[in-house]
Structure 1
Amino acid sequence: MGRRPGGRVTFRAIADEAGVSIATVSRVVNGSTRVSEGTQRAVREAAQRLGSGFARTRSGAPPVLVYCPYALTDYFGTIVTSVVETLALHGRRALVLAGESAQDDTSALLALPEQQGIAGAVLVLPPGSTRDLEALHARRYPLVVVDPRAELPETVASVSAAHAAGARRVARHLLGLGHRRIGFIGGPADWLASRNRLVGHTAALAESGLLPDPALMAAIAEPTTHEGHTAARLLLSRTPRPTALVAFNDKTAAGAVRAAREAGLTVPGDLSVTGFDDSELGQSITPALTTVRQPLEEMGRMAVSLLVRLVAGHAVDTLHVELATPLVVRDSTAPPAAESRV
């Protein structure tokens, strides 16, 4: 899984082989002096074992800031890896500011226009207010937001997945199997993705003549397995209980599967469960999750494509790009048990 279809080894594979973070691999590739000689050697040896040489960046080309204030695992690691690798293909170095500690370093973003040596920025789900992004854009600073947390002005470039369409597909799938009591575990209330997925879910219900039932709705503060487990336990305590659960992502779906087993329910015999993301976790748990695939790598590539054009001063007609979110049907969904059908 470490190679792209073209045979190129990914930064994530090198990071796993060397036992370091993706950000550390990026620093080694970019020649940063902030990495110890021992770690640099470990990364280069890992790359050699995997049959990779590092892409050369264009001499004198200013680097691009890649800001992701979250741990670079699963979802965020895939996006950042794609951004860094695509920048390398364009001859650009990446300066990666990542990890939860970066959430408190928003001052670095506002100071970007004063930093002459940075060409632009790719911001992954930035937690700050849209006012900060508007201020940067007003100063004509090249930036692209990946998976924005809040709705952005039309003039700020962004790349995201089609959250509403994906949620609509998964709800239609469950409705097509015969489910009518479908529990919904929504994401953080202040995330644009959460609101859009709820829109898609309720639209699918309306197509089948159903109204959203507040008793079948639960919300989580963070998209984690623990929170998914807690929300699922709440929904499964309802009478009558839901015959299916739609989880915000694959992690929360994994928590829902555990809650079902603790309640003596089988998945999908007694309860169908769906995720969102199509992560490695969703593919590896039992049963494998029916989910919605987010094109995370393509989101990273598209973000770089937009940024390169903005840095070059080219006109960009489409600043808000939404990428398709196909349904992936696996083993965690089935028609409701006969006694549960209404």
Structure 2
Amino acid sequence: MAAQTGLSIATVSRVLNGRANVAAETRDRVLQAVGGLGKRAPRRRGAGVPKADNGVYVRCPYVLTDYFGLIVSAVTEALDVQGMHAIVDAGESAWKRTDVLLTLTAWPQVTGAILILPPEPEEDLERLRDRGFPFVVVDPRTAPPRNIAAVSAANFAGARRLMAHLVELGHRQVGVLGGPLSWMAMSDRMAGYTAPLVGVGVFPPPELLRTVTDPTVQAGRVQALELLDRADRPTALVCFNDKMAVGALRAAVDLGLRVPADLSIAGFDDIDVSQATTPMLTTVRQPLGEMGRMAVSLLSRMLAGQDLDALHIELATELVIRGSTGPAPDQR
């Protein structure tokens, strides 16, 4: 590589190990030489010849709740069917390992990786790609860089269908309890929420949007209380996930509001808690298990040396209507 680029061995080594003290032009020269800059998704070197250990690194730096747990379980089961096994790195300890991606190429027991909602910056994903290491991103936090395989849910379509349902019920004053605006899922859902309202001549006022960095039950309750304390309180709340929707239900109880007679509430995900509330939650079902299985399918094709015609895959969502949504109060 050094001979091909005219650079020193030490400089090439610094680039391939992700060191920061390398000029951008120099890094590009080295990555171009290794076939980087993403002409195709990475494939395992010597594809078709298995490594001594068919381990797949599964990184999910979050507590394995009924959201992330469903994805990880589907991944591990699908890997077993493919004759591979998962090396799971999850929870708070995984979050603290901020530089783990750039070490994966040196792990002899790992042949590829599945990264679930990775918090690492785009540059780290690009460096891993440019080293030819096969991996798939599930539920990407931001728009995936070019030629990186990714699987997500159709957030825009799901949010649009949910808001269309509320618009059909006569709701025009709708509050949004959202997650981080920097997340791709949130920006896609906001676009989906907005479209049906604009279609009936309503431009959502920014003061009806609340966002949080950690979309929990308590965060949903706090933000819902703020919106419902307004003189022009919304007739419906759409929430980033089902947990925030549970918090919104608690806020409604605190204020003596009846759901859905006085206030409609909807979530997103369709995890088990959505059916454990009274009334049960209207929500958007994400295909969490299928997202994990699709990621394994893409990775196994990459490991077999196959080209991927579609790198960024969105799986369909489904609106599930239950008892927490009803006609707007002024429509009764």
Give the structure-2-normalised TM-score. 0.83
Aligned match of 2:167: 175
SS at match of 1:112: helix
Q: Which runs of 5+ in 2 are unaligned?
A: 1-49
Aligned match of 1:122: 114
SS at match of 1:141: coil
CA-CA distance at 1:116 after TM superposition: 2.6
Write the distance in 1 (CA, Å) between the matches of 2:253 and 2:207. Answer: 21
CA-CA distance at 1:323 after TM superposition: 0.4
Pairing 1:287–2:279 present:
yes
SS at match of 1:111: helix
Pairing 1:144–2:108 present:
no
Aligned match of 1:319: 311
CA-CA distance at 1:253 after TM superposition: 0.2
Question: Post-superposition, which runs of at least 4 consecutive aligned residues in structure 1 deviate over 3 A?
Answer: 58-61
Aligned match of 1:74: 66
CA-CA distance at 1:61 after TM superposition: 4.5
SS at match of 1:77: helix
Aligned residues: 283
Give the structure-1-normalised TM-score. 0.81
Residue type of the alignment partner of 2:195? A
Write the distance in 2 (CA, Å) between the matches of 1:101 and 1:194. Answer: 26
Residue type of the alignment partner of 1:234? E
Residues 215, 238 of structure 1: 8 Å contact kept: no
Aligned match of 2:17: none
Q: Relative to structure 2, which stretch is displaced further, 178-187 or 295-304?
A: 178-187
Pairing 1:249–2:250 present:
no
1:134-180 deviation line (CA, Å, top 9, x unaligned): 00001111000000001111200000001111111110000000011
Pairing 1:237–2:229 present:
yes
- After the TM superposition, which residues 197-216 of structure 1 pair with which residues of structure 2 at under 5 Å, given as runs? 197-216=189-208
Residue type of the alignment partner of 1:302? M
Residues 178, 215 of structure 2: 8 Å contact kept: no
Question: Identity percentage over the alignment?
Answer: 53
SS at match of 1:300: helix
- Alignment partner for residue 223 of structure 1, among 202, 215, 222? 215
Aligned match of 2:75: 83
Pairing 1:100–2:112 present:
no
Larger radius of gyration: 2
Residue type of the alignment partner of 1:229? R
Write the distance in 2 (CA, Å) between the matches of 1:337 and 1:95. Answer: 52
State the Cα RMSD in Å: 1.4
SS at match of 1:151: coil
Pairing 1:193–2:185 present:
yes
CA-CA distance at 1:189 after TM superposition: 2.2
Residues 61, 91 of structure 1: 8 Å contact kept: no
SS at match of 2:210: strand
Residue type of the alignment partner of 1:235? L
- After the TM superposition, which residues 303-314 of structure 1 pair with which residues of structure 2 at under 5 Å, given as runs? 303-314=295-306
- Alignment partner for residue 276 of structure 1, among 264, 268, 277? 268
- After the TM superposition, which residues 156-175 of structure 1 pair with which residues of structure 2 at under 5 Å, given as runs? 156-175=148-167
Write the distance in 1 (CA, Å) between the matches of 2:228 and 2:201. Answer: 23
Write the distance in 2 (CA, Å) between the matches of 1:196 and 1:124. Answer: 18
SS at match of 1:194: helix
Residue type of the alignment partner of 1:216? L
Q: Which protein has greater RCO, CA pairs closer than 8 Å, 6+ apart?
A: 2
Write the distance in 2 (CA, Å) between the matches of 1:325 and 1:241. Answer: 29
